[in-house]
Amino acid sequence: MSATTNTLWADALARRFAEVYGTEPDGVWRAPGRVNLIGEHTDYNNGFVLPFAIDRSALVAVRLRTPASEPEAEADVVRLASTFAPDGAGLSRAQFRIGGLEPDGVGGWAAYPAGVVYALARQAGASVPGFDLLLDSTVPVGAGLSSSHAVEVAVAAALNDLLGLGLGAPEMAHLTQYAENEFVGAPTGIMDQSASLMGKEGGALFLDCRSLDSETVPLPLAEHGLQVLVIDTRVVHSHADGGYSARRSACERGAAALGVPSLREVPAGASLDGLDEETRRRVRHVLAENERVLQVVEQLRADNVVGIGNLLTASHASLRDDFEVSCPELDLAVDAALAAGALGARMTGGGFGGSAIALIRQDDEERVRAAVLAAFVEKGFREPALFTVLPADGAGRV
């Protein structure tokens, strides 16, 4: 979205907030979802990733409540409302108390703001008062575009500003990762939060997940007549389920067997013969994926955007065969897009559902769309959602 569109959206959300809570919000904050161009399941292995923030975001309007203005019994209550009502109408509402907040104590989408409050207290020593919040979002839920992290980052950005905490982007990335890991119960890495916080329009974030050193590398899609097509299979995935945790555990076993703290420290050319077959394949994917990230960065620095296509496709094959986190719908989306002329395609996100991306020429968009939709009809799969995305700026006040 353009800055003007974001401003209009924020103004509309502020008005809705006043209708819901009877007073104006203190402000409105935005945090984008992300597409991971390449570098899948490398982040929690201290490896390299290359995501970009997208022009679809979560937006939160927030008002702090102070003890002086509220009854004492309500001072630590957080009241939440979301436009994502289960029945598609009205608002979804929730609330929780800050005092005694513990993991598993808050369910549903409210767990994400609650996790941020929990992390702020434990990681930043912040004393968070009660507050009111209204959420809206254009990031598809369950599509592998990091909708939950967008909510967490937007809440963290809002509370950081309103409480004057002075946290920088790396600190907020760690804080929201803590919220995911310790409160929500999803063993995610640091990539999604970092992309949402540090994304730049027209660029991708080259992130070293061990040091958190980052660099914006150019991703000039439009200048080359290219775009990224997202194919949301509508197969809902969850990082809190067992498949993701099992893959992470396999990587940890592999690192331990190889005598290193993480797979990032495995030397080039190291023998994997001592690992069992499954662990060897998991480790092989991570090592090869790190190398692919470096190769894509090299191509982008050389302004060879077209040249990254084959690396994207190789990433999907590795995720499908070695890491085994794809699914029939993702494989079909990739195969159909490539057959229709995509320069490269891969699943993106944790896997087991969610979305695939295809690097396509702008002139080929309609043909690729039609081919993917026809392939899904032929297989009897649910119709996917298709849309293009552009690199966008990271989180902040609107």
Instruction: Count the Cβ atoms, other than its own, within 10 Å of residue 328.
Output: 11
CATH number, residue 173: 3.30.230.10
Residue 66: band (very low, low, confident or very high) from pLDDT cuts 50, 70, 90: confident
241 and 373 in one domain?
yes
381 and 301 in one domain?
yes
Tell me which of 177, 192, 216 is where a domain ends.
Answer: 216
pLDDT of 396 over the 50 cut: yes
pLDDT digits (tens, 9 = 90+) for 38-49: 999 999 999 999
Residue 357: band (very low, low, confident or very high) from pLDDT cuts 50, 70, 90: very high
144 and 239 in one domain?
no
10 and 131 in one domain?
yes
In this structure, are residues 297 and 308 in contact, taking their beta carbons and an 8 Å threshold? no
Q: Residue 112 has what pLDDT?
A: 97
pLDDT digits (tens, 9 = 90+) for 162-203: 999 999 999 999 999 999 999 999 888 889 999 999 999 999
- What's the mean pLDDT when you consider all of the chain? 93
Confirm whether 192 is a catalytic residue: yes
pLDDT of 239 over the 70 cut: no
328 and 247 in one domain?
yes
229 and 212 in one domain?
no
Q: What is the mean pLDDT of residues 91-100?
A: 93
Range of 150's domain? 3-216
Q: Residue 100 has what pLDDT?
A: 86
Q: What is the mean pLDDT of residues 307-313?
A: 98
Residue 85: band (very low, low, confident or very high) from pLDDT cuts 50, 70, 90: low
Q: Residue 240 has what pLDDT?
A: 47
Residue 68: band (very low, low, confident or very high) from pLDDT cuts 50, 70, 90: low
- List all residues 6 or more positions away from 22 whose beta carbon is below 8 Å from its beta carbon: none
Tell me which of 171, 191, 216 is where a domain ends.
Answer: 216
226 and 206 in one domain?
no
CATH number, residue 310: 3.30.70.890
Residues across the chain: 398
Q: What tokens does 148 get?
A: 């939950």
Q: What is the mean pLDDT of residues 317-336?
A: 97
pLDDT digits (tens, 9 = 90+) for 125-168: 999 999 999 999 999 887 878 899 999 999 999 999 999 999 99
Q: What is the mean pLDDT of residues 276-284?
A: 98
Tell me which of 174, 197, 216 is where a domain ends.
Answer: 216
Residue 237: band (very low, low, confident or very high) from pLDDT cuts 50, 70, 90: low
More confident residue, 73 or 44: 44
Q: Residue 150 has what pLDDT?
A: 96
Sort 21 into a burial class: Cβ within 10 Å, 0-12 / 13-18 / 19+: middle
In the chain, % of residues over pLDDT 90: 85
Residue 57: band (very low, low, confident or very high) from pLDDT cuts 50, 70, 90: very high
Q: Residue 36 has what pLDDT?
A: 96
Q: What is the mean pLDDT of residues 67-75?
A: 66
Rg (CA), the chain: 21
pLDDT digits (tens, 9 = 90+) for 16-55: 999 999 999 999 999 999 999 999 999 999 999 999 999 9
Q: What is the mean pLDDT of residues 85-105?
A: 83
13 and 128 in one domain?
yes
Beta bridge partners of 27: 62
Most confident of 60-64, 142-146, 244-248: 60-64
Whole-model pTM: value is 0.89
Q: Which of 136, 192, 322, 393 is catalytic?
A: 192
In this structure, are residues 60 and 395 in contact, taking their beta carbons and an 8 Å threshold? no
Residue 396 within any structural domain of the chain: no
Tell me which H or E stretch contains 171: helix 169-178
* Alpha-carbon separation of residue 112 from 39, 51, 153, 220, 237 (angstroms): 25, 21, 9, 33, 16
Q: Residue 187 has what pLDDT?
A: 83
- List all residues 6 or more positions away from 290 whose beta carbon is below 8 Å from its beta carbon: 39, 42, 47, 48, 264
